[in-house]
Amino acid sequence: MVTFTSSGFFMELKLFTDYLLLERHYSQHTALAYEADVMQFMRYLEIEESAELLQIDYNDIRGFVTELLDEHITAKTVNRKVASLKAFYKFQRKVGAIDFNPLAVHKSIKVAKKVQIPFSKDEVRTILEQSKVASGFNEVRNLIIIEILYTTGIRRKELIDLKLYSVNTYESVITVLGKRNKERKIPMLGSLASSMQKYLELRAQIVSQTEQSLLVTDNGVSLYPSFVYRVINSYFAGVSQKVKTSPHILRHSFATHLLDAGADLNSVKELLGHASLASTQVYTHASMATLKGVYASAHPRSSVK
C-alpha cells in the first residue's frame, strides 16, 4: 500500500491533475478545482489525525461530509467536492496505488432542484429589435453577444472562445468548441448572419489583424466572463423583472423556446452540446406550462372549454 509523504503527496497530486488535463481533457479551471478539493480533504485528515490519504475508509469520507454540512456548505457544493475525491481515488485505483475506491458505494446528497425561469419571447424580442438601429461598435457588439447566446444556445465560455474562423458566413454555420474539446456545428439564422456582417465591419476598424477572438472589448482584446455577464444584466434589467438575468438564462431560454415550439429533444440535445438526454431534460419542465395550456384548451373534458 502506498502512503504519502508531504513531497510525495504533491507529486501524486500533480500526476492526478495532469491526468485530468491530458487524458480526460478537463478544463484547467475544473482540474484546479478538483485539486483544491483533494487538498482540503487532506487538511481535514491531518486535523482529525485520521488515516493517511491512501489508507482511508468510507467512515473518513462520511466524517468529512458531515463537517462540511455542519459548516453550512450547500449540498450541491458538498457533492462537487466528493465527486473530486471520487475521481482522485478512481485514478489511484487505476495506477495501482490502492486496491479499492473508498467512495465506490457513496451516493450523492439529494439537492432540491431550482427552477430556472427563462426570458419570455417578448423580452428577448424587445432587446434584439434594437439591433436594427444599432450603430456604434459597443452597441452592435453588445447586442450580437445577446443574439448569439439566444439563437445558438452556446455557453458563456464557448462564446468567449469563438474565433474569427469559427464563423462561416457562406454556409451560415458557427463551429463551437465545447466541453472536453468536443466540436459541434450550429446553424446560423439569417438575422444573426446579417448582424454578424455588421459587427465584423465595425470590428475591423478597431482590432489588430493578429487578434483572432471573434468578440472583443472596447480595447480590442478578447472578452472575459464578468464582461459578458454585465452586458446581459444591463440589457435585461430594463425589460425583465426576473431575479436572475445571466448568460445561462439565455441558454435556458433558447432550449425552452425550441421545445415549446415542438423541437425534438434529441435535436436540442445536439445543439446544446449535451453528452446525454438527461442533461437536456432539465429544460422540459419549463415547457410543461405550454403543454398544460394546450391540453386544457383542447381536451373534451377540460373545464376551460
Positions annotated as catalytic residues are 155, 179, 248, 251, 274, 283
Question: What is the side-by-side strand order in the sheet with 183-187?
Answer: 167-168, 173-177, 183-187
Please calculate the CA angle 267-272-276 and round it to the nearest 5 degrees: 75
CA gap 246, 225 in Å, rounded = 11
